[in-house]
Amino acid sequence: MQEQVKIPAELSRIDDMTAFLQYEIKEESDLERLAIVGQKAASRIKELDALRLSMTGPIKEGIKKIESEFHRLTDPLKELKNVLNLKVSTYWDAQHKIKEEAARKARDAQLAEEKLLASQAAEKALATGSELAELEYETRQKVISKMEEQPIEVKQTVRAYGATMAQTRVWKFRIIDETKVPRHFLMINDDAIKAALKANKGREETLKVDGVEFYQESRASFGR
């Protein structure tokens, strides 16, 4: 059975403070009352955090030692697994490129043959007026257009090595020209904007960044 955490009664009583969650500020004098409650809450948080850390500190330290001992063994094994994955994947990708090149050469050879036969059919149609030759030419032209438009595809054989290792093909991406990436794929660098604000401390009103508005808002802080 899990041991119940014991928190002193004087620290557990918070209802008198949380009651102010629904409190509405109607006039300036209300601010002083809320300031007192806010400071009391901040002080209570400090006391509770200190008590919590005194309880969880030793537990966290014990967990840290356990984690460290296991990581001593699992980390090098994970590194080994990653290295083996890279070696095998590199080999498989190289083999895929070889097959892709072979498929391209086969397609180019077939395309060249189709073009030759289309050319011969066209010459025959012009020389003899044969409708059959003209039909053959048109048919082969359609085949040629389809072949030129269709990308090179390599049928991927997924290898399985018993229950030990299996090959899969995973789609990934790399950026080749970031200036052409559509806007909806981009992210605002919040950290860079915050850094610009920090670097211009005291001169925030003069800071200009296209598409960004810098403004101030009020924030209350309670003494602790």
| Helix or strand holding residue 161 (H, E) | strand 160-161
**Does residue 186 belong to any structural domain of this protein?**
yes
Mean pLDDT over each residue of the chain, to the nearest integer: 89
pLDDT band at 4 (very low <50, low <70, confident <90, very high): confident
**Does residue 40 belong to any structural domain of this protein?**
yes
Q: Which tens digits make up the pLDDT trace of 152-186?
A: 877 666 666 666 777 777 888 999 999 999 999 99
Question: What pLDDT, on a 0 to 100 scale, did the predictor assign at position 136?
Answer: 92
**Does residue 101 belong to any structural domain of this protein?**
yes
**Does residue 222 belong to any structural domain of this protein?**
no
Q: How many Å separate Cα 214 from the centre of its chain?
A: 28
Number of domains observed in the structure of the chain: 1
**Does residue 221 belong to any structural domain of this protein?**
no
Question: What pLDDT, on a 0 to 100 scale, did the predictor assign at position 163?
Answer: 65
Q: Which tens digits make up the pLDDT trace of 115-151?
A: 999 999 999 999 998 999 999 999 999 999 999 888 8
Q: Which tens digits make up the pLDDT trace of 210-224?
A: 999 999 988 888 875
Question: What pLDDT, on a 0 to 100 scale, did the predictor assign at position 1?
Answer: 47
**Does residue 211 belong to any structural domain of this protein?**
no
Q: How many residues in the chain? A: 224
Strand 160-161 to strand 165-166: parallel, antiparallel, or no bridges (unpaired)? antiparallel
pLDDT band at 89 (very low <50, low <70, confident <90, very high): confident
What range does the domain containing 20 cover? 9-206
Question: What pLDDT, on a 0 to 100 scale, did the predictor assign at position 201?
Answer: 92
Which residues lie across from 112 on neighbouring strands?
A: none
Ramachandran assignment for 194, one of left (phi > 0), alpha (psi -120 to 50 degrees), beta (any other): alpha
For the chain, what percentages of helix, strand and coil (3-state, to nearest 5) are there? 65, 5, 30
**Does residue 129 belong to any structural domain of this protein?**
yes
Contact 124, 130 (CB under 8 A): yes
**Does residue 220 belong to any structural domain of this protein?**
no
**pTM more than 0.75:** no
